[in-house]
Structure 1
Amino acid sequence: MLPDISIIIPVYNCDKFIKKCIDSLLNQTFKNIEIICVNDGSKDNSLTILNSFSQKDKRIIVIDQENSGPAEARNKGLKKSCGEFIMFCDSDDWYEPTMCEKMLETIQSKSVDLAICNCNVVKDEQKYDLRDNDIDYHKLTYYGLHSLTFPFKTRVNSVLWNKIFKRSIIEKYNIAFPSGYYHDDMAFVLQYLCCAKTIYAIDVHLYNYLLRSDSIMHKTYFSAKDRKKMFDAIDVMKYLLLRLSDNNLLNDNKTYFIVILSGLIKWVIGMCNSKEEIIFFLNYCNETILFDLDLDCFPDIENKVPLLNIKDKYYQPFYQEDNKKKKKKPVKKFIKKVLTFSFSYFLFP
């Protein structure tokens, strides 16, 4: 009998946490699941622990790969999976015993494309300092049935592990994780939200999210300002733009795309250490994605996305070579249409 739910777990050097994670899945009240663990070249005892589990329970499938990153691990897990529904778990987190049962019941009984639950945010270290809004991002502020209209999509967070997805939608639109980038999970969720029509949110804390200072999430968002970590946010948006275009979904999601892109640009600028780095980043945005946006495809952006005061001197440096006229063409309109905030507070003393 095929499993109803496939749970995919990328594993990298997590031998201190993986046993608790797997035990929580084996102890689910709903039993017809498969647990696909993809060992991403761990150098500790993670693979040994996974193989031990798989020998005891046939529902556990272990895939071993050279270190290629979580995106490649999740993509391999998706290809191997057989369940009608897909869930994800991080290797240092754990499910509450009824998570699979309640998530499956919700997505089936409510006839929705996506179901989402609340979570418990657990600090590994009491001294671990995190802003309240960083914790609040993972918690739900809405419940019940909702249509995934543009305004509501912006309220759905982009984490994988508090959701249950339909395989049919993933396969129909060829939804996958862009390999080699940070924020690959965000790209997957955004793709799915652009394809789905309805969501049901349940006010039950079913997932336990462990915050620890050496996790991938922490290193990506809160540790030293690594240029790749920040700039990859723009690269995955370029990936999303291409995927939406390939699936003829861009027109229906144009405003949503711009709002998400604007927020990411603002976030990265907030991480920059100097005005010079901001200029470098915005030039990178310009070269990577802004000139790929066909303005004719976004005729109503300025009406739907409020623009604040953008001072000319902050977006004048951006140019594109015009091959026909052989002269530089200012791209003020591109910057102005994408950025929904003022540059004025980026002045440095």
Structure 2
Amino acid sequence: MNTPKISVIIPVYNVEKYIQDCIESLIHQTFKDCEFIFVNDGSTDKSKLIIELYLEKDSRIQLVNQENKGVSVARNEGISIARGQYIAFVDADDWIEKDMYQRLHDTMEQYQSDIVLCNMFGYVNGKQFISGYEFPKEKRLGIDFIQDTLWRHLIQKDDLYSSCNKLFKAAIIKDNAINFPPGNKLSEDNVFNLKYFNKIQSFVYIDYTGYHYREVAGSAMRSILKMNYFENILRLYQVDYRRYLDLKFSDEEIEKIRSEKLINNTISLIHFYFVPTPQLSLMKRIAMIKQMLYNEDVVGVIHKYYQSLYDKGGRYDQFILKAVKNQSVVKLYIATSYSRYRNK
């Protein structure tokens, strides 16, 4: 059996409505030298059956079935059997452009890079947007840029943590036993990417949008009922980045960067909780917001870094920040309602 150039790992759990779009986008890639490893994580719908139908038609497709153990275990299982020189990840309810792996592979080969990164399409409330980056484009970026700029970005923002808009070297993953931590439903990508980025010597960013992230209607709010997103924000704030990255920054600088991210993420979540929904009463959402406003980490950080955050923001941002500092739910409700009205 020939060794494929790219192994694509797709964890699958109850996505019968979307899995066909995903499979079609994979098997019609212009880059043909791939294997597609679908790891069925105990689906109870027709997801497995749909994959089996394609399995008969395309020899590049593999299907692994396991009991429901979560996306991290499913991805790790895929890594363990992947034979490709490069590894990629796709979520089973998303899809990709037909030339995505051609573009990523050719860039990886051209620049002899340890990782290639591209943009993503996202969809919120029926509107499409592109998540891009302000890194130099189409250029091999070396260890100095990685340590000075890329690692700062990893601490400061969350937009680099998806595993799905990247092409990884299998040797780096396997030689360093890099995997996804089981049991952490919200931030499994974070740890994987931190470990991987700590082992690279170069990376390339291409200003090309190849991955489509599907926001299933109501999925975000339904997941709020099952998961505590604020708990995840706190968990990210409490990450010991020195455990994963050989950082040159001082402890004070790291603390400032991650503290400002805590406040920005908290404010984003406040905006989200104030969006009207029949799935969660206003009183319940207000209670969740109060929990955030009175959290000791949030209170401590906003008092310590209030002025630097205030000086960076516009008038609206400053109003929101002041309301958070003063724990004013009423002002936050008015401001976020006004923002939604203006952005209709």
Question: Please, what TM-score do these two structures have when normalized by structure 1?
Answer: 0.69
Q: Distance in 2 between matches of 1:196 and 1:263?
A: 27
* 2:270 is aligned with 1:265: no
SS in structure 1 of the partner of residue 56 of structure 2: helix
Alpha-carbon distance, 1:144 to partner: 2.1
Alpha-carbon distance, 1:251 to partner: 4.1
* 2:114 is aligned with 1:121: no
* 2:66 is aligned with 1:61: no
Structure 2 equivalent of residue 232 of structure 1: 232
Q: Distance in 1 between matches of 2:40 and 2:13?
A: 6
Structure 2 equivalent of residue 103 of structure 1: 104
Alpha-carbon distance, 1:166 to partner: 0.8
SS in structure 2 of the partner of residue 62 of structure 1: strand
Structure 2 equivalent of residue 208 of structure 1: 212
Please point out which of 186, 200, 203 is paired with 1:196: 200
Question: Please, what TM-score do these two structures have when normalized by structure 2?
Answer: 0.70
Map 1:1-349 → 2, pairs under 5 A: 1-122=2-123, 128=125, 135=129, 138-142=131-135, 143-145=137-139, 146=141, 147-153=145-151, 154=153, 157-181=160-184, 182-215=186-219, 218-219=220-221, 224=224, 228-235=228-235, 241=241, 244=244, 249-252=245-248, 258=255, 261-262=258-259, 264-267=261-264, 269-270=266-267, 271=269, 273-280=288-295, 282=297, 307-309=305-307, 345-349=324-328
Q: Distance in 2 between matches of 1:280 and 1:26?
A: 48
Question: Is contact 2:260-2:305 (8 Å) kept?
Answer: no
Give the aligned residue type for 2:138: G
Q: Distance in 2 between matches of 1:72 and 1:259?
A: 34
Structure 1 equivalent of residue 314 of structure 2: none
Determine what percentage of the aligned residue pairs are the same residue.
Answer: 28
Q: Does the C-alpha gap of structure 1 residues 237 and 275 become closer, same or farther in structure 2, counting only changes over 3 Å?
A: closer
Q: Distance in 1 between matches of 2:11 and 2:210?
A: 20
**1 or 2, which has the higher helix percentage?**
2
CA-based RMSD of the aligned residues comes to 3.4
Q: Does the C-alpha gap of structure 1 residues 38 and 214 become closer, same or farther in structure 2, counting only changes over 3 Å?
A: farther
Q: Distance in 2 between matches of 1:219 and 1:150?
A: 37
Structure 2 equivalent of residue 332 of structure 1: none
Question: What runs of 5+ residues in structure 1 fail to find an aligned partner?
Answer: 287-305, 311-341
User: Deviation string for 1:264-291 (max 9, x for gaps)?
Assistant: 53255333644554444639x99xxxxx
Q: Does the C-alpha gap of structure 1 residues 229 and 201 become closer, same or farther in structure 2, counting only changes over 3 Å?
A: same
Instruction: Between 105-114 and 143-152, report the one with greater CA deviation.
Output: 143-152
Alpha-carbon distance, 1:139 to partner: 2.4
Question: Is contact 2:293-2:324 (8 Å) kept?
Answer: no
Question: Is contact 2:22-2:93 (8 Å) kept?
Answer: yes
Give the aligned residue type for 1:165: F
User: Deviation string for 1:277-306 (max 9, x for gaps)?
Assistant: 4444639x99xxxxxxxxxxxxxxxxxxx9
Aligned length: 284
Question: Is contact 2:9-2:79 (8 Å) kept?
Answer: yes
Give the aligned residue type for 1:148: I
Q: Does the C-alpha gap of structure 1 residues 48 and 260 become closer, same or farther in structure 2, counting only changes over 3 Å?
A: farther
Q: Distance in 2 between matches of 1:158 and 1:70?
A: 15
Q: Distance in 2 between matches of 1:259 and 1:51?
A: 50
Alpha-carbon distance, 1:113 to partner: 1.2
Alpha-carbon distance, 1:348 to partner: 2.1
